[in-house]
């Protein structure tokens, strides 16, 4: 459902030099699979996700969502992709109901279909208590739920979620990850990034550890931590050290 | 159909952003300014010629008020989304970029034209021209055409240099509209100000009484051709801006 092959992306730095943000990434995420994309700041996670979300064009290599190339057919990709940015970016003056309705309209749903979809998401994501309160008055956790609703408004089969739990407390994180588990069980392919490894250690099917735009290790949690005490976090540091080289 | 619903959704959303008590207050203060100036002029010169008042209202409303209103409402089309972190969530939608630009264009034109119409009603009353429906209709048309043309013009800086759009648009207004627009050369054919001026001169039947040097900065073609040229220019600018926006990429660091 997500297929990435030899993906490369450069940015031009302020001094004119080229910065290789993504350096030959290849991976897949199958339907019904949740994959964690792990890495430090500047590792290339957000750039990779933004390429998948058609916000950035790949420099070279290919990325496909549900069989559609992100560079050649971005419209088809956008119809099948739910994207959650690390910045919540919710308009303060709109209520969750209005926001979900607007997003439905942006996806081309007619008025009644957009309203119906908004109602469904309000119910599924338990937004009912604050569905008619301006988003500016919601807590971080509530805003993140609304943001997830925005990503799901067109019922996409693929989800790309950039640090979905970053603004949440422990309870909020658990609730959100439970929600994602439900979406995965429904057959969605989910790629998510986070810095909070302990939260997703036992939630994701596989992990990709990236450093300087490259995958330095990947596999299931058990395969990554095999023979190492300290769980995923130790495996992560070991992979980074090996990736950096001597 | 989905393109239209997307544009309508953005336009509605942007209008909600613009119709706030603070912005409305600011807009109404701006709308009262031309009337105040007309009153001041009439106080100094009670027997002032009607044509001078018309020219003054033209300079103040279809030119100044419309320009300022569009600087506030059209220039931040992309910058606002980047700053608020809503950019990724809008453009990840099918035709999200196009909807963002055209929806913001519609909202900017509607808001600015609304403020300019209030300014017009006040200014005509202050000028003692309130009983001239023909004059009011002419200015209303000039306001709408000014808003359409200038909003499309400001769409270019908004997508090319989003974070400097306001400064760039002021530069465009000065260089294109008020320098190139007054050059008696082919380049002024590509300006909104030439079209508006020429329509004003035609509709006010000033062409015969205009001094020869002023005729150089007026186009002789009939008003319907001025309107067609202006709408064509606006459509072209908007299409170019949309094409540029479709290609724009902002690294994550551009959002703040």
Residue A17 lies in a domain: yes
> Which range, A198-212, B84-98, B185-199, B220-234, has the best average confidence (pLDDT)?
B220-234
Closest partner residue to A93 (CB to CB) among B8, B16, B88 is B16
Instruction: Please check whether residues A130 and A231 belong to one and the same domain.
Output: no
Q: Which residue of B has its CA nearest to A13?
A: B251
Tell me the residues of chain A between 25 and 64 that have a Cβ less than 8 Å away from chain B: 46-47, 50, 53-57
Write down the pLDDT at residue A130. 93
What is the number of structural domains in chain A?
A: 2
Residue with tokens 């900017």: B108
Chain A residues 79-108 with CB within 8 Å of chain B: 79, 81, 83, 85-91, 93-94, 102-103, 105-108
Does pLDDT of A13 surpass 80? Answer: no
Q: Are residues A167 and A116 in the same domain?
A: no
Which site among B11, B93, B100, B253 would you substitute to test the A interface, given the most A Cβ atoms closer than 10 Å to its Cβ? Answer: B93
Same domain membership, residue A149 and residue A160? no
With tokens 């990554």, the residue in question is A224
**pLDDT confidence of A124, banded at 50, 70, 90?**
confident
Nearest-angstrom CA–CA distance, B136 and B124: 8
Residues of A in contact with B3 (CB under 8 A): 108
- Beta carbons of B17 and A91 less than 8 Å apart: yes
The mean pLDDT of chain B is: 91
Same domain, A64 and A102: no
pLDDT at A246 over 50: no
pLDDT mean across residues, chain A: 90
User: Which of A122, A155, A188 is where one domain is finished?
Assistant: A155
Whether residues A68 and A138 share a domain: the answer is no
CB contact under 8 A, B90 and A47: no
Residues A57, A134 within the same domain: no
Chain B residues whose beta carbon lies within 8 Å of the beta carbon of residue A150: 89
In percent, how much of chain A has pLDDT > 70? 98
- Residue B107's pLDDT is 97
CB contact under 8 A, B8 and A103: no
Query: How near does any CA of chain A get to the CA of B94, in Å?
Result: 5
The answer to whether the CB of B172 falls within 8 A of the CB of B255 is no
Look at residues A62, A90, A66, A46 and name the one whose alpha carbon lies nearest to residue A1. A66
Q: What's residue A30's pLDDT?
A: 96
Strands A206-211 and A34-38: parallel
Best A70, A88, A108 member to test B by mutation, with max B CBs in 10 Å, is A108
pLDDT above 60 for A62: yes
Of A136, A155, A174, the domain-final residue? A155
Is A85 a domain residue? no
Q: Under 8 Å CB-to-CB from B136, ≥6 apart: which residues? A: B120, B121, B124
Interface residue ranges in chain B relative to chain A, Cβ cutoff 8 Å: 1-3, 5-6, 8-10, 12-13, 16-17, 20, 84-96, 99, 249-252, 255
Is A143 part of any domain? yes
Measure Cα distances from A184 to A133, A141, A164, B233, B234 in Å.
29, 21, 15, 50, 47
Q: Which of A53, A89, A106 sits opposite B9 (nearest CB)?
A: A106
CATH number at residue A74: 3.40.50.300
The answer to whether residues A123 and A46 belong to one domain is: no
* Separation CA A109–CA A105 (nearest Å): 5
Mean pLDDT of B215-236: 93
Mean pLDDT of the region B104-123: 97
Last residue in a domain, options A131, A155, A179: A155
- C-alpha angle with apex B123: B118 to B127, nearest 5 degrees? 155
- Give residue limits of the domains in chain B: 3-249
CB-CB neighbors (< 8 A) of B88 in chain A: 50, 53, 55, 83, 85, 87, 89
In this complex, the residue of B93, B251, B255 whose CB is nearest that of residue A106 is B93
Say whether both A15 and A67 belong to one domain: yes
Do A173 and A233 have their domain in common?
yes
Q: In this model, does residue B180 exceed pLDDT 90? A: no
Q: Residues 104 to 143 of A: which have CB under 8 A from any B CB?
A: 105-110
Same domain, A137 and A160: no
Q: Where are the alpha helices (DSSP H) in chain B?
A: 2-18, 21-44, 50-58, 66-73, 79-84, 87-91, 96-126, 133-160, 165-172, 192-203, 212-215, 223-247
Question: Does the structure show a pLDDT above 60 at A115?
Answer: yes
3-state secondary structure B31-100: HHHHHHHHHHHHHHCCCCCHHHHHHHHHHHHHHHHHHHHHHHHCHHHCHHHHHHCCHHHHHCCCCHHHHH
Which chain A residues are closer than 8 Å to B13 by Cβ?
91, 94, 102
Tally A–B CB contacts below 8 A. 87
**Measured distance CA(B106)–CA(B124) in Å, rounded:** 26
Residue A210 pLDDT > 60: yes
Task: Tell me which residue in A47, A102, A150 faces B13 most closely, judged by beta carbons.
Answer: A102
Which residues touch B109 (CB under 8 Å, ≥6 apart)? B70, B144, B147, B148, B151
Put simply, the answer to whether A89 touches B5 (Cβ < 8 Å) is no
User: Among A109-113, B49-53, B143-147, which range has the highest average pLDDT?
Assistant: B143-147
Q: Could you tell me if B146 and B69 are in contact, meaning their C-beta atoms sit under 8 angstroms apart?
A: no
User: Are B88 and A109 within 8 A, CB to CB?
Assistant: no
A163 pLDDT exceeds 80?
Answer: yes
Spell out which residues of chain B touch residue A90, defining contact as CB-CB under 8 Å: 86
* A75 and A31 housed in the same domain: yes
Residue B132 confidence (pLDDT) above 90: no
A190 belongs to a structural domain: yes
Which residue of A78, A87, A94 is in closest CB contact with B93? Answer: A78
Q: Which of A55, A75, A110 sits opposite B88 (nearest CB)?
A: A55
Give residue B2's pLDDT: 65
Q: In whole angstroms, what is the distance from residue B73 CA to residue A198 CA?
A: 45
Q: Given its phi and psi angles, is residue A227 left (phi above 0), alpha (psi -120 to 50 degrees) or beta?
A: left
Do A108 and B2 make contact, defined as CB atoms within 8 angstroms?
yes
Query: Does A46 reside within a domain?
Result: yes
Per the structure, the complete domain to which residue A133 belongs is given by 90-155
**Interface pTM, i.e. ipTM:** 0.83
């Amino acid at each position: 459902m997500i297929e990435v092959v030899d993906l490369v992306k450069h940015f031009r730095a302020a001094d004119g030099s080229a910065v290789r943000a993504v350096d030959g990434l290849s991976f897949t995420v199958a339907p019904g699979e949740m994959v964690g994309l792990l890495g430090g700041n500047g590792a290339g996670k957000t750039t990779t996700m933004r390429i998948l979300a058609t916000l950035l064009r790949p420099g070279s290599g290919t990325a496909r969502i549900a069989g559609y190339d992100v560079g050649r057919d971005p419209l088809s990709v956008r119809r099948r992709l739910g994207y959650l940015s690390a910045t919540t970016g919710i308009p303060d003056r709109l209520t969750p109901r209005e926001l979900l309705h607007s997003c439905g309209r942006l996806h081309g749903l007619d008025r009644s279909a957009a309203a119906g979809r908004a109602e469904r998401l309000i119910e599924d994501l338990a937004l009912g208590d604050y569905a008619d309160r301006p988003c500016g008055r919601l807590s971080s956790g509530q805003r993140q739920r609304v943001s997830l609703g925005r990503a799901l408004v067109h019922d996409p089969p693929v989800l790309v979620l950039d640090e979905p739990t970053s603004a949440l407390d422990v309870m909020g994180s658990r609730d959100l990850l439970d929600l994602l588990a439900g979406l995965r069980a429904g057959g969605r392919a989910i790629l998510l990034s986070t810095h909070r490894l302990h939260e997703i250690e036992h939630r994701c099917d596989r992990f990709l550890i990236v450093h300087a735009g490259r995958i330095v290790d990947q596999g299931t949690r058990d395969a990554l931590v095999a023979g190492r005490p300290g769980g995923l976090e130790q495996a992560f540091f070991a992979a980074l050290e090996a990736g950096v080289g001597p | 159909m989905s393109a239209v619903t997307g544009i309508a959704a953005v336009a509605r959303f942007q209008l909600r952003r613009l119709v706030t008590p603070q912005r409305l207050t600011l807009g109404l203060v701006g709308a009262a300014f031309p009337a105040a100036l007309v009153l001041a002029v009439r106080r100094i010169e009670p027997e002032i010629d009607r044509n001078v008042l018309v020219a003054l209202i033209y300079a103040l409303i279809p030119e100044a008020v419309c320009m300022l209103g569009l600087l506030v409402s059209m220039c931040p089309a992309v910058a606002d989304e980047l700053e608020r972190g809503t950019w990724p969530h809008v453009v990840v939608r099918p035709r999200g970029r196009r909807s963002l630009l055209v929806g913001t264009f519609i909202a900017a034109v509607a808001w600015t034209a609304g403020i300019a119409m209030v300014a017009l009603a006040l200014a005509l009353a202050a000028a003692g021209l309130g009983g001239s429906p023909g004059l009011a209709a002419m200015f209303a048309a000039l306001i709408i055409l000014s808003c359409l043309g200038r909003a499309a013009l400001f769409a270019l800086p908004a997508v090319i240099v989003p974070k400097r759009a306001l400064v760039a648009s002021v530069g465009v207004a000065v260089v294109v509209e008020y320098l190139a627009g007054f050059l008696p050369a082919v380049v002024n054919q590509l300006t909104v100000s030439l079209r508006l001026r020429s329509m004003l001169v035609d509709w006010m039947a000033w062409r015969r009484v205009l001094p020869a040097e002023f005729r150089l900065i007026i186009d002789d073609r009939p008003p319907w051709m001025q309107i067609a040229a202006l709408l064509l220019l606006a459509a072209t600018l908007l299409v170019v801006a949309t094409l540029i926006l479709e290609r724009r990429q902002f690294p994550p660091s551009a959002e703040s």
